[in-house]
Amino acid sequence: MRRRSLLVTLFAGVTLAAPAASAAATDAAGLADDCNKDGSVEIAGRMTVEGGAGVLNRDCFVTMSAKATLVMRNVTLTGSDVVFSIGDALASTTVVVDDTSISLGDGGAIQLSPGCCGGEEPDRSERYAKITVTDSFLRAGTVEVSASTAAPDGTVVIKRSVLKGVATWSENPVVVNASFSDARGKVSVSDSELISATGILIATGTDGTTRASRNTFAFETAVTLTTGAGGSCTSSANSPPTACS
């Protein structure tokens, strides 16, 4: 059985305080302030976070209603050993991360996962989620970028970005996946650098499409590029050369 999202168990065990109301627009300092109040932010429609710098002083869990959108552009977020997690997000949720830096401590974690993580529970679909990360830097103990992890039709696109996971206690401190516990996920990682203290996992599930091209991988144990039964996996011009499995 494939490894589930790195923070699913952590998130499931947390009882969230009443979330703050979703805002139409804010900057990095405003987002950090919302997080630091009670550890949670709710996005019911569209939230745009643009510009500025903010410091996370506590774990922050972001919830997303169906069809909600989060855009983070030209944002700098820092923190010590804290968690920044999109870990409760429903169907057709969208996350856009552009020209953004999120840098947390060695014991911290970043989980950007629209459509996470319960799958197709009754009255709680998580399909059709999408995340795009471009020209960005993500650094923590563990870094995960995923979509519809346990539901179908998730999409992840990463371009010209750095994902760095430094945790030595994790099998794969850097994880990129879409619908790896379900069907028809799509992952594309290109022109990026993925750095891990141990392993790197890029994966989709049944009938999925996994693409990795022109990336630089730095790792201690292994890079795993894979898809499920009926899926398609392509690896090209990566350094070091890495075959699909």
Q: pLDDT tens, 227-242?
A: 999 999 999 999 999 9
Confidence of residue 8 (pLDDT cuts 50, 70, 90): very low
Predicted TM-score (pTM) of the model is: 0.91
Region 39-55 average pLDDT: 96
Q: Please say if the pLDDT value at position 121 is more than 70.
A: yes
Q: Please say if the pLDDT value at position 1 is more than 60.
A: no
Residue with tokens 């949670």: 40
**Of the candidates 161, 142, 49, 63, which has an alpha carbon nearest to the alpha carbon of residue 104?**
142
CA gyration radius, the chain: 16
Residue 8 token pair: 């699913």
Q: Please say if the pLDDT value at position 156 is more than 50.
A: yes
Burial class from Cβ neighbours inside 10 Å (0-12, 13-18, 19+) for residue 243 reads exposed
pLDDT in tens, 48-80: 999 999 999 999 999 999 999 999 999 999 999
What's the CA gap between 81 and 191, in Å, rounded? 29
Helix (H) or strand (E) holding 124: none
Q: Got the DSSP string for 178-216? A: EEEEEE--EEEEES-EEEESS-EEEEEEET-EEEEES-E
What's the CA gap between 141 and 227, in Å, rounded? 25
What's the CA gap between 221 and 225, in Å, rounded? 13
Give SS3 for 109. Answer: strand
Residue with tokens 């499931």: 12
Instruction: Give the sign of the dihedral formed by CA 8, CA 150, CA 75, CA 71.
Output: negative
**Of the candidates 14, 12, 17, which has an alpha carbon nearest to the alpha carbon of residue 34?**
17
